[in-house]
Chain A
Amino acid sequence: GEEVAQTPKHLVRGEGQKAKLYCAPIKGHSYVFWYQQVLKNEFKFLISFQNENVFDETGMPKERFSAKCLPNSPCSLEIQATKLEDSAVYFCASSQQQGSTDTQYFGPGTRLTVL
């Protein structure tokens, strides 16, 4: 598609429950990025993929967060045993090529609320 698609738009989970978010990058884009937007608009980088391979995972809290990008499937970000502090908007972005000049195109985000 021509836009990055993210589902669901909203997700509510009780503390300790699992949450799974999905992202379909723009067709033909090889790179996928996940960001977490918390209070006061702060963006935190989580992980990036080059096709189905992890490119950079330096931002991932590895104890409870995992992510995948499998061929012919939407990418996913999964949080096991959610905590209150995981409440945020999670954005996915895709870019066509590797390069700092390359624009990242963002999806509309998934708002996760942990109660």
Chain B
Amino acid sequence: GDSVTQMEGPVTLSEEAFLTINCTYTATGYPSLFWYVQYPGEGLQLLLKATKADDKGSNKGFEATYRKETTSFHLEKGSVQVSDSAVYFCALSDRGNFNKFYFGSGTKLNVKP
């Protein structure tokens, strides 16, 4: 079945450090891949997405590339800010499975000044 695996957190970084959050997936069909961010007490906000192999999604300095050969969609940012502190979720949507989302377990990011 479909599933998403994320690196466990929390991840603690100093401001301006480089960020990588690993995400790998298993899917029976041709999934689209997403990163969502959840700030404390809030719902999920779409950060970026990629809908086919080799696509790169980007937003607010964050990037992720859809790698079919390694079934991965790692999130990266070159220089994190304190305001990036949140929980990040990797997700997939598989058109062969009614398009419901499968989420990873979330990775909490703490950025210190």
A interface list, Cβ under 8 A from B: 4, 31, 33, 35, 40-43, 45, 48, 55-56, 58-59, 91, 93, 95, 98-109
Contacts and interface: CB of A to CB of B under 8 A. Distances in A.
Interface of B: 29-32, 34, 36, 42-46, 49, 51, 87, 89, 93-95, 98-103, 105-106
Contacts, number: 65
B43 A108 contact: yes
A41 B105 contact: yes
A41 to B, nearest CB: 4
A41 B94 contact: no
B95 A108 contact: no
13 contacts: A4-B43, A31-B99, A35-B101, A40-B106, A43-B103, A45-B102, A91-B43, A93-B44, A98-B99, A103-B46, A106-B36, A106-B44, A108-B43
